[in-house]
Structure 1
Amino acid sequence: MGLSLLNENQKKAATTVFGPLLIIAGPGSGKTRTLVERVVYMIKELNIHPKNIMITTFTERAAKELITRVSNRLIGTDINISEMYIGTIHSICLKIIEENMQKSIMSKGFTVLENIEQKFFIFSKFNEFKKVDGFEDFFEGKYFPTSWKKSGNLQKWFNRISEEGIDLSKFLKNKKTAFLAQGYIKYRELLKQENTLDFSTIQLEAYRILKENPIILENTREKIKFIMVDEYQDTNSIQEKIIFLIGENHKNICVVGDDDQGIYRFRGATIKNILEFSKKFNNSECEIVTLNTNYRSESGIVDFCNKWIDSLNWEGYRHSKKIEATESKQSKNISVVKLSVKNSEREWAERIYRFIVYMKRIGKIDDYNQIAFLFRSVRDKRIVSLIHYLESKGISVYSPRSNLFFYREEIIKVIGILLYVFPRVDSTVFKEGVKSETLDYYKYCLKKIEKELLQDDEFKVWLESKKASYENIVDNGESVLDLFYELISLNTLKLHLKEEGIEILSERSSYNLGIFSQILEKFEKLCGISELNNENIDKVVGYLFNMHLKFLKEGGIDEFEDEKDFTPKGAVSFLTIHQSKGLEFPIVIVGSLDSVPDRKEMETEKDIEKIFYWEQPYEPDYRIKEFDFWRLFYTAFSRAQNLLVLSCVEMNSSKKEVPSLPFKRIYDDIVDISQEDFQMKNLFVDDVKIANVKDKYSFTSHILNYKQCPFRYKMNKIFKFQGKNGKDTFFGTLVHQTIENINKDVIFSKKIDIDIFKIEEWYYENYEILKKNERITLDEESLKLGLNQVLDYFKNGKEFLRNAIAAEEQVFLIRENYIIEGKIDLIVKENDEYKVIDFKTGNFHKDLTVEKNHRKQLEIYSYLLSKKLGVEIKTGILYYTKNIENPIVEIDINQSSVNKTLMEFDKSIEKIEAKNFEKINSDSKKCEKCEFRHYCL
């Protein structure tokens, strides 16, 4: 085990710990294994504390896999790696912001906009950008016919400014670019007003906090002394600045990547970071280690990839390397073939189908998931037609990014029902004289439901009754999301919500309905509505169909992807090349061979692009698209383990040649899969590797929810149906957040005296933010009650505040099969004794079961903290804010009781991971408040 399993270069990379290190890791070169052994070596051999190590990965899946493998290597030791900073750069930046909220421009409870939410945000504020000087000049000569399209263009440039940390003064040369600078300033102002960030500004805000606060920066540097960055070729400018800001003093920065696989320029990534990394340091201070042995692919595939990447003149914009297959993969057997036809797409689909069936029939593959198709885009009509053809022949296809979400039967039905029951859709949606592809789609959805109700009297009665209730609606206290949860109780949709299993393919409709619930929840946030009434219903319906769903349909919605199960059993996978990054597949079929490097985009907005390159791009601008093209398909080809297949419909014409010229130089030399030179009998196909990932579970959001109702747990946690918070939860969050404000202010300022008016200000600020996020309001009496509870805590909890050392402390512990996590409200230290405090906004002893669960939660938190600090925690405190006279309940923490609680935790996790989600007869009062009450009746 350990270093003895590494080759010489891997071993050098794993044991070179101090000072800067660049690891060039070719495809399949054992990069993750090397990183795992490097971390283990640092901790076990060099006695480096896990809290001093930061590792950034490209995806959360990669982070989970890394921490799982490291923890497995440390089983049997007392080493706790839970304090290690590990995750995507975005998640680590979020942690920096949340740990230093008092210095952030954000307020507690800030939200983060995902990609489509960011575009909707810009669109919803579009009139603000129209007022900025230079708006018309900026879009002159560009074909963006709608405000929605213009919003997407602004989103692209705003993200680039954030990701690359551009000096806005550089934009002031002409009206077009000056508008972009002023528009960006306006955008940041609007984000701040709404207390929200996007994925790019998360990094910018973390960088600002560190840069402008020397004490915070020094504390961060003191904690993080060793930095590892995976996939460094895909980092952007602001990420590099953060990494060097934290690590510039100790210089223990290790970056890992492969410039040949740098494919995320469109997200702001720059290949310059990895190519220029060693030049950031003096002389030969930076060690460079190349991992060039490919353990993944057959030698024929490795040679083919080398031939592809070496066929281009890189002009020095590439680390020179020669990848070699490991000895066990050396073979004279052909492992790169083509599977094409001359000029018929139907014949192409049939030939692919016959190939897949033949491979299964002769036993070369045991499961369809051993085959993956990789394309530049999976939304192309030819690709979607191929998917439909294979499915019609009985071969399941997993293709979550093929823009098929709105064409799934369950989504068509939901949209059709909504169109049927909402009033006046003829005037709000189907306006006379208006024609569009989306309206044709809506008509199809509606006709589908109208046809079904003719065959189902019960369904018809429900629809007509619901439709009538909306015709003269006053205020029924129902939102669009509430209506959705009624719809899924109808038999026509229950067919799509099977109660057994959670597999991606067999339960795809359940996952899709969960996604639709999220769409409606986000729609309600954008609209700011909580209840439908006679005054708003037409406006809400119009916005829902004419803008929200319309834009989502045009832009495309991805279906569910499981980070652990990226190649579901029983299906071939259709993935984008970007989606396949970091993955491997036994058989890879690469399409999109009609592609060419596209230089048009560079020309349309070249004046703006120049600014991002500081007047001159790092690589020659006329080569950038060509370089990116070669890197993209190198990434695709190198995913294959046993067989690489190039596939296309060959069509020769004066206009377009397939394969295109870049592929011609290699394609013509490849044998067809049917030729005698390719010996199918000699082909060995590996099984698909199962992701080695431990999931995180918390006591409150997982264990308690599961115990209360396994079915609801499945719907919320597995299928991701959007839950709805009630006023009780809202009230509790408001009180809790304001108490957190008090605790953090005292800890940071080291002063116990806070002005009462300041506390009131925090309270009402929190209320306004929560009200906007949750669309819930409290009456004056409830608001006053909550404030009094907060002020009573400030008066009664002085002893806690004097000894407080941490608030909202994240703790987690890696166990054999999963990870326990939690967040401790307050930690105090009195006479060298640590105590854990958890705040509750209910009444003590009001419900004995609840009180018992509170104790167990406190035991888990105390246990996690004891493991983190290496000390024994003897006392926990439950603070009930509603019990003004006697709010404090002390709990003795003893190991025997903790062990029992941990055993209960383990049993619940076993049931969850065994997919045991049977319905239980629950408390009818609790069921009354559940969003699935209609479904379960």
Structure 2
Amino acid sequence: FEENKNVLAGYQEKFQYILVDEFQDTSGTQNRLVQLLINYWNVPNVFVVGDDDQSIYRFQGANVENMIEFANQFSNDLKTVVLTNNYRSTQPILDISKTLINKNNERLVKQLPGLSKDLLSSNSRLSELKHLPVLQEYNAVKEEMAGITQKVAALLSEGIAPGRIAIIYKENKYGEELAAYFRLRGLPVYSKRSINLLEDPFINKLVTLLRYLASEHDTPYGGDEMLFEILHYDFYTIPPIEIAKLTVEVNSKKYGGEQTSIRKMLSDKAKAPAKDLFDTGLNAGLKNAGSIIESLVADVSNVTLQQLFENIIQKAGVLPYIMQHPKKIALMQLLTAFFDFIKEETSRNPFLTLEGLINIIDLMESEAIPLPMQQVSGSDKGVNLLTAHGSKGLEFEYVFFAGVNASSWEKKRKPGAGYKLPDTMFSQAAARDDEELRRLFYVALTRAEMHLYISYARYKNDGKEMEPSMFIAEILEEHTGIAAEKVVVSAEDLFAFQSLQFTAQAPEIDKAEEDFVTRLLEKFVMNVTALNSYLKCPLQFYYQNLIRIPSGKNEATEFGSAIHHALEKLFRKMQEGGTETFPSKEDMLADFIWYMKKHRENFTKEAFERRMEYGDEVLRNYYDKYIHSWNKVVAVERNIRGVLVNGVPLKGKLDKLEFNGKEINVVDYKSGDIDKAIPKMKGPNDKEPNGGDYWRQAVFYKLLIDNYQQKDWKVISTEFDFVEPDKKKEYRKEKIVITQADTETVKQQLTETWKKIQDRDFYTGCGKETCHWCNFVKNNQLEIALHDLEEEE
């Protein structure tokens, strides 16, 4: 906009009426964008909504001054409406909050004449309630946590829904400790926290591994410092003494003038034959790590960036490490979020290299740009544990505002290292910091609807004295009717509370995983891929369809998607053209090329060129084969949801529906070898008692559409249309006509599988030697049962 006035003018003409919601949260860049759009008019049509008292994101670039400057800029023509009716909180809660926020000077009511902001409780359900906020002083932090835990347990026993209760605190550390006690006590917990992935220790390990591979690819044997650290990672479980021995040997050879490195030594020792019968050779863990490193260094030049990261997950021991870890759910969330970041960057730049990715990460770290993630744990029906920032926009019947100590809220401010700020500048910055904190405190207070408990401790658990936050004094100074109530937790109750930390950790771990799986199952809807996966191996379903192990897209899958896209556009353009005429062959190929280029990041240079040439060939011949016989009465890429069969929710995405009145032939495009696909189209038999995957897919689609209440359709058949020719260069279609017996069989499979999934019966594998996930579990000693096939044999 700033560089191209014509582009700006176009958007100014397009957006003549502008609404800005949550104006107090706009960053400098967002505010500048608004200003550019409205500066064409002397009196623009702009409507901004915001609460200056809830401006709490200055660390993200938001600034309450944006609102003040806007008000001053248009003061002559500004129409201001102050909403003073509050429908969330009781009047006592509003009064105590007002006392606090009135001490701020950066407020519109103090900048604009005639404004008043005295909030009035206007919810008829709350307006007559006079529960005063309760201020509680505990002797020590552990007693505060014990007291809150007891109070919450009492509320739950009285029938208060867990979701109506919240514990709010300043820092995540407080919530993490309290959440652990809650889980050990058996209290349901739900917490969300914002984290910077680039500051997480687990993600730092992966970044270091990526950084090392980039370094070795650029300058072989130059990254010994990083490799030394990597070998100590718990992905490998190598005894530190073995790493130390190897390092000493490398250094001794260097002192002797020999050119070597840890990586080279690992490789040489792994290849060296045993000197004698008693020579045990290189430690097995080191040997394995060396082999992994060599494989990954080679991958840097030969696979896509997404595939490289997937190989790190699979080869470098990352996935087994996660699945064996007590906090595997949290680690899986971190891994998925970081992989999503890599996918996003490669989508933005299909030619991004590993070195380029490391440069992006380095730039983000040097400029303090976070890689944000919302980490969720527990069930959303649990007691809410939130930071003050995370509580914004929410409301709860009971709020426990905990840990309100100066050490958490008013940390010491330090001028920048290496220079001294002028006294006036530093005092202004300190005052501004206080006002930002006061707004954050205000937000936390006003989350409460009826009951508000504010608490702090006088001593740390180690006996060191702590001061209450300055905001406690501000409340007491203005509200003489409120006094700090000293709460004493009995020695017996405190002992019972502290004893929880010595309880076996398994219940907490089990509960965390149980809550995570519960959340997944609550949202789970059966599709044919999940059904086939479960029937093949419940472990495969657990890893691939439920918790969804992160993976990159491979070239075969993306090539198939490009073919699908070209065919979808072909039929859509025929329908939209109005003459029922198919576009030209070149038009169809252009859509294929567009998709391939858009998803270029999923192909190596050689694979992209090969697939482009092959796709051009198969699509040209496919077009010529069917152009004069295609049914034109069709629906393409139809998403169907909201279907129930025997109480099982179903969904599916169908490539094409061909109509003969209300009778349907479902068409599913298939790429790949047709000869390998034929056995999958057979129904139940002695070899495959559950039937083939494609047969089941055909029947599933009939159940899905026949039970779709929004349409009176009936599926007669499903046709698999192979878009790649067979070995004789012929294009083939295979049609399955579905019988009543077929539908009853798959309906039974659906019902039984759904029940097993809801009963969490997916921790037992099929036990077949060729099963990837069963072998993954066996090879990594994961504690998941494997089905014994001997009984069946």
**How far, CA to CA, are the matches of 1:725 and 1:514 in structure 2?**
14
Aligned partner of 1:657 in structure 2 is 470
Which residue, 856, 862, 876 being the options, matches 2:696? Answer: 856
Aligned to 1:352: 144
For residues 319 and 520 of structure 1, what CA distance do their matches in structure 2 show?
A: 47
- Give the SS at the match of 2:574: helix
Contact 1:793 1:881 in 2 (8 A): yes
Code of the residue aligned with 2:715 in structure 1: it is K
TM-score (norm 1): 0.51
**Paired residue type of 1:555:** P
**Distance in 2 between the 1:693 and 1:468 partners?**
40
How big is the shift at 1:563? 8.7
3-state SS of 1:822 partner: strand
Against the structure 1 CA distance between its residues 894 and 442, is the aligned structure 2 distance closer, same or farther, given a 3 Å change threshold? same
Q: Give the partner amino acid of 1:897.
A: D
Alignment correspondent of 2:550:
722
Deviations 1:480-508 (A, max 9, x none): 4312321226xxx7454139xxxx96743
Q: Determine helix, strand or coil for the equivalent of 2:470.
A: coil
- The correspondence for 1:882, drawn from 714, 724, 729, is 724
- 1:561 match: secondary structure: strand
From 16, 29, 39, the counterpart of 1:170: 39
1:334-345 aligned within 5 A? 336-339=134-137
Give how far 1:670 is off: 5.0
- Report how far residue 871 of structure 1 moved: 1.0
Query: Which residue of the partner structure matches residue 43 of structure 1?
Result: none
Superposition deviation, residue 738 in structure 1:
0.5
| Distance in structure 1 (CA, Å) of the matches to 2:612 and 2:343 | 25
The yes-or-no answer on 1:322 pairing with 2:122 is yes
8 A contact 2:642–2:651 mirrored in 1: yes
Map 1:72-221 to 2 at 5 A: 156=27, 168=37, 170=39
Q: State the Cα distance separating 1:736 from its structure 2 match.
A: 0.6
Task: Tell me the secondary structure at the aligned position of residue 471 of structure 2.
Answer: coil
Query: 2:743 is aligned with what amino acid?
Result: V
C-alpha separation in 1, matches of 2:605 and 2:746: 35
Task: Specify which of 584, 592, 603 is matched with residue 755 of structure 1.
Answer: 584
* Structure 2 segments unaligned to the other structure (5+ residues): 6-25, 68-84, 103-108, 110-114, 243-282, 411-434, 494-514, 682-691, 783-793
Alignment-derived partner of residue 305 in structure 1: 93
Aligned to 1:101: none
8 Å Cα contact 2:392/2:444 also seen in 1: no
CA distance in structure 2 between the partners assigned to 1:713 and 1:488 by the alignment: 21
Q: Tell me which residue corresponds to 2:667.
A: 837
CA contact (8 A) 1:829 1:835 kept: yes
Counterpart check, 1:822 vs 2:652: yes
Secondary structure at the residue paired with 1:847? helix
User: Equivalents in 1 of 2:753, 2:481: separation in Å?
Assistant: 58
1:290-336 deviation per Cα after TM superposition (whole angstroms, max 9, x unaligned): 996x8xxxxxx745334356768985779965225479x9798x773
Distance in 1 separating the partners of 2:469 and 2:378: 38
Mapping for residues 364-763 of structure 1, pairs under 5 Å: 372-375=166-169, 378=172, 383=174, 400-401=192-193, 403=195, 410-411=202-203, 414=206, 423=215, 453-455=239-241, 457-467=283-293, 475=301, 477=303, 479-488=308-317, 494-498=320-324, 507-522=329-344, 528=350, 539=355, 542-543=358-359, 546-547=362-363, 550=365, 555=370, 557-558=372-373, 560-561=375-376, 564-565=379-380, 567=382, 573-579=385-391, 581-582=393-394, 584=396, 588-590=400-402, 632-633=443-444, 635-638=446-449, 644-647=453-456, 657-659=470-472, 661=474, 665=478, 669=482, 671-672=484-485, 674=487, 694-751=522-579, 752-763=581-592
Name 1:813's counterpart in structure 2.
642
Cα 1:516/1:708, change in 2 over 3 Å: farther
Partner of 1:722, secondary structure, is coil
For 2:200 and 2:183, how far apart are their aligned partners in 1? 15
AA in 1 matched with 2:470: E
Q: Is the 8 A contact 1:521 1:722 kept in 2?
A: no
Alpha carbons 2:654, 2:666 under 8 Å: kept: yes
Q: How far off is 1:172 after superposition?
A: 11
Query: After alignment, is 576-585 or 459-468 more displaced?
Result: 576-585
Does 1:873 pair with 2:718?
no
Residues 873, 893 of structure 1: 8 Å contact kept = no
Relative distance call for 1:764 and 1:426 in structure 2 (3 A) is closer
Q: Residue deviations 1:726-778, cap 9 Å, x none?
A: 33212211111110111111122223131222122111111111223566763
Tell me by how many angstroms 1:825 deviates.
1.8
Q: Give the letter aligned to residue 462 of structure 1.
A: N
**Structure 1 residue aligned with 2:754:** 909
CA separation in 2, counterparts of 1:921 and 1:915? 15
> Which residues of structure 1 form unaligned runs of 5+?
1-128, 135-154, 174-235, 241-256, 273-289, 295-300, 342-346, 433-438, 531-535, 598-623, 681-688
Q: Secondary structure at the match of 2:373?
A: coil
Task: Return the alpha-carbon distance in structure 2 between the equivalents of residues 387 and 552 of structure 1.
Answer: 33
Which residue in the other structure is 1:769 paired with?
598
> Secondary structure at the residue paired with 2:482?
coil
Instruction: Measure how far apart 1:880 and its partner are.
Output: 2.3
Instruction: Please state whether the residue corresponding to 2:697 is helix, strand or coil.
Output: helix
Q: Please identify, of 886-895 and 748-757, the stretch whose mean Cα deviation from structure 2 is larger.
A: 886-895
Cα distance in 1 for partners of 2:92, 2:601 equals 56
Deviation of 1:910 (Å): 3.0
- Say whether the 8 Å CA contact 2:638–2:656 is kept in structure 1: yes
Look up the SS of the partner of 1:588 in the other structure.
strand
Contact 1:517 1:722 in 2 (8 A): yes
Contact 1:838 1:877 in 2 (8 A): yes
Are 1:787 and 2:585 counterparts?
A: no
AA aligned opposite 2:454? V
User: 2:403·2:457 contact (CA, 8 Å) conserved in 1?
Assistant: yes
Letter in 1 for 2:385: S
In structure 2, relative to structure 1, the CA distance for the partners of 1:669 and 1:853 (3 Å cut) is same
Would you say how many aligned residue pairs link Structure 1 and Structure 2?
Answer: 610
For 2:753 and 2:202, how far apart are their aligned partners in 1? Answer: 32
Shift, 1:812, TM fit: 0.4
Structure-to-structure mapping, 1:248-267, within 5 angstroms: none
What percentage of aligned pairs have identical amino acids? 12
For residues 289 and 700 of structure 2, the distance between their equivalents in structure 1, rounded to whole angstroms, comes to 49
RMSD of Structure 2 on Structure 1 (CA): 6.2
Distance in 1 separating the partners of 2:679 and 2:479: 69
Is contact 1:304–1:336 with CA below 8 Å preserved after alignment? no
Q: Residue 353 of structure 1 aligns to a residue in which SS? A: helix
* Distance in 2 separating the partners of 1:541 and 1:902: 48
User: Counterpart of 1:892?
Assistant: 737
